[in-house]
Structure 1
Amino acid sequence: MALPAVDGRQYVYRVYAPENALLADLFWQAWHCHDESAYPRAWDVFDAALIRRVG
């Protein structure tokens, strides 16, 4: 999942979840992980995230 941030960059996170997980749940898991880091704040807008299933 890629989250755009206020510095203009995109930060990518791998979120492990069951196949039937809701996309919104994946978004919030990645967003909270980013928010707890030292990186600039990510946009907390679901539509701004790029979510892609791998595997």
Structure 2
Amino acid sequence: MVTLPAIDGRQYVYRVYAPENARPADLFWEAWHCHDESHLPRAWDLFDAALIRQAT
């Protein structure tokens, strides 16, 4: 799960499917591109602003 903060003050959460050894940056960019293609307000494209956690 990747949480991206956006310019509207909200946080948007995306489920990213990836192998266990995927790099955090790859997870971030996958989620960011999903968000960027939607109609939602722009998400911050700052890796340090994202929250990445494994869904169980």
Q: Give the TM bin, normalised by the shorter chain.
A: over 0.9
Separation in structure 2 between the aligned mates of residue 54 and residue 4 of structure 1, nearest angstrom? 19
2:27 counterpart of 1:26:
yes
Separation in structure 2 between the aligned mates of residue 26 and residue 32 of structure 1, nearest angstrom? 10
Separation in structure 1 between the aligned mates of residue 21 and residue 53 of structure 2, nearest angstrom? 14
Partner of 1:13: 14
Higher strand share: 2
Q: CA RMSD in A?
A: 0.4
Moved over 3 A (4+): none
Task: Give the structure-1-normalised TM-score.
Answer: 0.98
Separation in structure 2 between the aligned mates of residue 54 and residue 28 of structure 1, nearest angstrom? 17
Partner of 2:39: 38
Unaligned stretches of 5+ residues in structure 2: none
